[in-house]
Structure 1
């Protein structure tokens, strides 16, 4: 394995000053843009530094390699995704969890269309599954966060069965949405609609009757 892909830790150290935090954000922005433009294989810390307008030493001050930067971008994407879903839950009224599932898929599709690097990292499997931590794959981490939102908002019964159902739903949605974006760079609307129908039908069989 190349030297640039040996480390699991996303950050050598956390930025403690606002100036340093802004510099790290510029690095992450540059990494995300380059992933869309040239892909992971052609990505390098040198190119990230050049795009971000920082010295290469600044990169290594915070990140050991390109994989760690990509990992940090993925973490940021997940945080933004969950935050967007949470804000939507607060601002919109749903008839029940089934409408919330549609909203979750809508946010996922919108981020793929509008957020640099999101589609590459969440649909391209460019680095491997364990982008968010060294134990769980990315979809497992995302499922856990969405599980927490659904439990909080809809009072579903916490159980191992619910954990498994949400994980399977996330995996299934991910697979079908990959197809949607292979068919159409903006996401084939018919396949996106089928993804919603598939997930709603599956979850309805798992916990029918649960509602707000």
Structure 2
């Protein structure tokens, strides 16, 4: 079972943040098991006990980090975003700074690669795409008292920072807004592309790439 890295965003919302390597590895095993079971059983049949059994840890270890399965899938989504940002950053390091189209291709290619290969990604990419269930506690807030941003806002923030650094631009409100619009559009269209095709409808993927490229060319071109 692979053990993926756990970044700072993944730790947000945990009942307990691992401070030792052994705890970090255990957390990663729990999230790996959660991802595998999402592919096998779906969200409705997912349980914390099944995750503990698959991960080979006591059920108390799961509850040490998570209060319920929704909290666990939310952490998986944040780990996916950490991994995605790392992959994009590595790709950008190989691309000339002025080549914004290659940078955009890297952003889209890495998402598609994760969509096709990362366990659980179909249900939980960067945000839990499952029913929210009955009303719970008040919405999470940051240390400054602001609402925690939703998945696509998180993605837009990370991509705006990466692309601004790559292209030597200022990550101010205008490019951030345009990246958010592009993320929202690509998200909806990629959901359509993968709805009936596990590998993604190639024609819809091509159209999505062209649409996002034409839209961002106003700012990046």
From 181, 191, 200, the counterpart of 2:213: 200
Which structure would you say has the larger RCO, counting Cα contacts within 8 Å and 6 or more residues apart? 1
The Cα shift of 1:208 comes to 5.0
- Following superposition, the deviation at residue 40 of structure 1 comes to 1.3
Question: Any stretches of 5+ residues in structure 1 without a counterpart?
Answer: 1-8
**Higher helix proportion, which one?**
1
Q: Deviations over 1:155-209 (max 9, x none)?
A: 224332211111000000001111111131111111111111000001113x154
Residue 100 of structure 1: aligned partner = 103
TM-score (norm 1): 0.86
Look up the SS of the partner of 2:85 in the other structure: helix
Structure 2: stretches of 5+ with no match in the other structure: 1-11, 133-138
> If the length of structure 2 is used for normalisation, what is the TM-score?
0.83
The number of equivalent residue pairs is 199
Which consecutive aligned stretches of 4+ in structure 1 deviate over 6 angstroms post-superposition?
130-133
Change (3 A) 1:12 1:112: same
Q: Report what 2:149 is aligned to.
A: 136
Q: Contact 1:67–1:127 (CA<8 Å) still a contact in 2?
A: no
In the superposition, relative to structure 1, how do residues 157 and 60 fare at CA in structure 2: closer, same or farther (>3 Å)? Answer: closer
Closer, same or farther in 2 for the Cα pair 1:158/1:18, shift >3 Å? closer
Query: 2: CA distance between counterparts of 1:77 and 1:192?
Result: 21
Matching residue within 125, 130, 143 for 1:126:
130
Which digits, 9 at most, give the CA deviation of each residue in 1:54-98, with x for residues without a partner? 111111122111111111111110000000000011123475212
Give the secondary structure class of the aligned counterpart of 1:119.
Answer: coil
Q: Using the alignment, how far apart are the partners of 1:208 and 1:15 within structure 2? A: 40
The 3 A distance-change label for structure 1 pair 28 and 124 is closer
Q: In 2, are the aligned partners of 1:86 and 1:149 still within 8 Å (CA)?
A: yes
